[in-house]
Amino acid sequence: MFFRILNGSFTVLIALLLYQIYRRRKNKFYLSWGLGFLSYGASIFVRIFSPQISVVTPLGLLAFMFVFSGWVAMLLGIGALVNETRRVSLSMALFPLLLGGLYLKGVELVYVAYAFTLFPYLMIGIILTIIQINYNLDLKLLISGWFFILFINVGYILNQADPGYVDLLSTFGKGVVFWGIISTRFSFLDEELKEFLLRGIPTEYMDSFTGKLLLFNTSNSDKRSKINWIEKRVQENSRKAVRTIFLTYYDVISPRDVVTDEIKRDLYVVRVLPGKRVSTKPFSQQIISINDDINELELLFNDIFNFSNETKVPCEIIIHSLSYMIHTHGWKRVYSLFIGKNSVLKTSMVQLLMFYSPETHENEAEILKFERLADKVIKG
């Protein structure tokens, strides 16, 4: 009982700490997992009065409802993290139907309950592993702690582990999971970027601002003219309190080219560079670096879209350039990214403006697909 109380108290403590992190970072992942751990902790305290796992009791069902609602919150948090809430919700809806089918087939209720309890552990562990692979996030500590908790609970259900040691080891496993959560950067929107987005003060009237996809044809533009255009665009946006984020691929237009004294307070630069790297601030200005990875770029877009919509801050993301993205990752992968973001973009307060050079593309049909997708094509 002492170890179970310790386990429940530590689980609730993690929930409170995650809520404090959510209040600072405004990332719904922390809120969802905080609610998940809170429900998980409540189930542990209920099980103090219903210790038998092989007998279905009213208190046991209550504990089961608490723990399952915790898994739902955690899975929704993971779905929101990678913008796959719909798929995660669908998988959760299908699982009860599957277990209900097993029960109707004559499988004993207690075994169905075991599967119902363990499968979300496995599902969360697998999804986290997929995110680790696909999104270039270092989740090794979080995944290790999570699978450790899964194996401990398997041993408990199979009566191969003493309940006291199970609670003690589960407490340790949750500590590893929590450390993994706070050690991982789930959002590119650090405090400096949030402050930058909230800093705009309009000095002239602006018509209604809606999300658009704009292309800038730079066939007749040299590097200097593109830099001058960016500087004027930033100044124009600043007067209307539209915040400007400039994504530069491979430093073809480097931060030193565009971060001038006139616009340095009104421009945030994201350097997209090849090779694996941790997102860092290489200079004291408003500059970060991310990997040249489409999945990582998608996470950045999601963060900016969500924060801009929640705070009602208009924002323009200028990308130099779409052509580099296509040459590196192939037009299909890049087109899939923007076609998937198109509906979200149209209902947001974010404009995407991408430079491109048609003459660098051997297949004219590829670039025509992006021109048809765009709301407007600007000639340089």
CATH of the domain at 284: 3.40.50.300
Give the distance from CA 250 to its chain's centroid.
Answer: 24
With a threshold of 0.75, does the pTM exceed it? no
Among residues 151, 183, 215, the one where a domain terminates is 183
**Is the CB of residue 184 less than 8 Å from the CB of residue 138?**
yes
Q: Same domain, yes or no, for 133 and 27?
A: yes
Residues whose CB is less than 8 angstroms from the CB of residue 160 and which lie 6 or more positions away in sequence, other chains included: none
Among residues 183, 212, 235, the one where a domain terminates is 183
Among residues 159, 183, 207, the one where a domain terminates is 183
Beta strands, E only, the chain? 212-217, 243-249, 267-273, 287-291, 315-320, 350-356, 376-379
Side-by-side strand order, sheet with 315-320: 287-291, 267-273, 243-249, 315-320, 350-356, 212-217, 376-379
DSSP code for 286: S
Domain that residue 177 falls in: 2-183
Specify which residues 289 forms β-bridges with: 271, 280
Q: For the chain of 380 residues, list the mean pLDDT of each consecutive stretch of 10.
A: 92 94 77 93 86 64 83 83 67 69 71 74 86 76 92 83 87 93 69 78 76 93 93 93 94 92 90 67 65 85 85 93 95 93 90 95 92 91
CA–CA gap between residue 252 and residue 275 (Å, rounded): 16
Give the distance from CA 112 to its chain's centroid.
Answer: 33
